[in-house]
């Protein structure tokens, strides 16, 4: 699943495990449409629309209900900003009824443009308008976070100057959205596998920018997949930047599919952030290793396994 496909729309407008209890086995049974799984996950893993289309059908509200029935306590929708206002409100009303959270939507993230790094007045004006549009989405949906990607780096402009321009851009954007309560989460992305040429790539880099912007609306979304590709050292970097992390994305590496299909020890990572007191959203921003209805079942089972830590 390419990150570009998520962000482009926003710029344009039984588990078999030993040693687990019978209650956990029941919670992890294979889901079917019409079956309810009342055991809630420990953390707010957030599927997105389409993850369970084979079970729940095409209707977005039906998909939310299915996610809730399977124990999920949140959803995310990168393309929320591009949906009709009436649909945004409908989604928000259903989430509120079910007591579910909404993860970050993409407020700006053109992966093909040198945007925040340049300080260009026209780009700054575009960012102002995007922030104002995002506030309207926040009003309709009560979203708490919106995702920002600073874009490509410039090959001629000194790196420190680009960094200063990103700091200025983020400070301006935060000043606009701050009164609404909306938090902007910057996402570092990997350049080795998915997004060559981007400016923001590491958690320490994002941490430094947050420190410099010095605004309560400037925070980080830590994408565990991207950071495993870029730098590893997942838990120490989570601890180092903890005060600025307001959301997580996840996906295993290699392959960017569900936990358990790659090299990341998600059980330990999720245990760690749970015991640090994290109560935010973990967006399931990845593909599935198995297609069709069986793949949807396997997806839920994968999250049951990595959520089976001591609480």
pTM greater than the 0.85 cutoff: yes
Asked whether the beta carbons of 153 and 113 are under 8 A apart, the reply is no
Residue 13 — very low, low, confident or very high, per pLDDT cuts 50/70/90?
A: very low
Chain CA centroid to CA 107, Å: 13
- For 44-53, what is each residue's pLDDT tens digit? 999 999 999 9
Given a cut of 60, is residue 28 above it in pLDDT? Answer: no
The larger pLDDT score, comparing residue 12 to residue 310, is at 310
DSSP string, 239-267: HHTGGGEEEEE---TTTS-STTSSS--HH
Given a cut of 90, is residue 21 above it in pLDDT? Answer: no
Domain covering 3-8+35-306, topology: TIM Barrel (3.20.20)
- Both tokens of residue 41? 């996950």
- Percent of the chain predicted with pLDDT > 70: 88
The larger pLDDT score, comparing residue 288 to residue 13, is at 288
**50-to-47, 56, 63, 178, 219 alpha-carbon distances in Å:** 9, 9, 8, 32, 28
Helical segments of the chain, H only: 3-11, 22-27, 53-56, 60-69, 85-98, 121-141, 159-177, 203-213, 224-230, 234-240, 266-275, 292-306
Given a cut of 50, is residue 176 above it in pLDDT? Answer: yes
Give me the pLDDT at residue 38, please: 65
Q: What angle do CA 129, 93, 281 make, to 5 degrees?
A: 70
Give me the pLDDT at residue 4, please: 43
Residue 286 — very low, low, confident or very high, per pLDDT cuts 50/70/90?
A: very high
d(CA 111, CA 243): 27
- Both tokens of residue 168? 């200025």
- For 77-120, what is each residue's pLDDT tens digit? 999 999 999 999 999 999 999 999 999 999 999 999 999 999 99
Asked whether the beta carbons of 44 and 73 are under 8 A apart, the reply is yes
DSSP string, 168-227: HHHHHHHHHHGGGT-EEEE----TTTT-TTBS---HHHHHHHHHHH--TTEEEEEEHHHH
Q: Where are the domains of the chain?
A: 3-8+35-306
Residue 8 — very low, low, confident or very high, per pLDDT cuts 50/70/90?
A: very low
| 91 CB neighbour count, 10 Å cutoff | 22
């Amino acid at each position: 699943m390419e990150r570009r496909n998520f962000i482009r729309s926003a710029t344009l407008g039984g588990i078999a495990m030993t040693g687990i209890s019978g209650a956990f086995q029941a919670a992890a049974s294979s889901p079917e449409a019409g079956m309810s799984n009342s055991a809630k996950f420990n953390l707010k893993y957030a599927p997105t629309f389409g993850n369970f289309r084979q079970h729940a059908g095409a209707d977005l509200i039906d998909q939310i209900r299915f996610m809730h029935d399977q124990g999920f306590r949140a959803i995310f929708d990168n393309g929320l900003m591009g949906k009709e206002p009436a649909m945004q409100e409908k989604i928000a009303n259903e989430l509120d009824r079910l007591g579910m959270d909404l993860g970050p939507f993409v407020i700006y993230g053109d992966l093909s443009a040198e945007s925040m790094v340049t300080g260009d007045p026209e780009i700054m004006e575009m960012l102002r308008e995007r922030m104002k549009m995002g506030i309207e989405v926040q009003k309709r949906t009560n979203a708490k976070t919106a995702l920002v990607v600073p874009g490509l780096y410039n090959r001629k402009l000194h790196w420190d100057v680009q960094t200063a321009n990103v700091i200025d851009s983020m400070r301006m954007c935060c000043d606009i959205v701050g009164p609404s309560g909306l938090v902007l989460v910057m996402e570092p992305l990997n350049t080795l596998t998915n997004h060559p040429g981007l400016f923001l790539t590491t958690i320490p880099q994002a941490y430094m920018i947050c420190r410099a912007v010095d605004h309560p609306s400037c925070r980080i979304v830590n994408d565990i997949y991207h950071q495993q590709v870029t730098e590893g050292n997942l838990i120490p970097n989570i601890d180092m930047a903890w005060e600025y992390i307001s959301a997580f994305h996840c996906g295993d590496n290699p392959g960017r599919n569900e936990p358990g299909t790659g090299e990341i020890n998600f059980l330990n990572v999720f245990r760690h952030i749970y015991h640090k007191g994290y109560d935010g959203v973990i967006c399931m921003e990845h593909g599935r290793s198995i297609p069709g209805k069986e793949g949807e079942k396997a997806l839920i089972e994968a999250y049951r396994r990595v959520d089976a830590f001591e609480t």
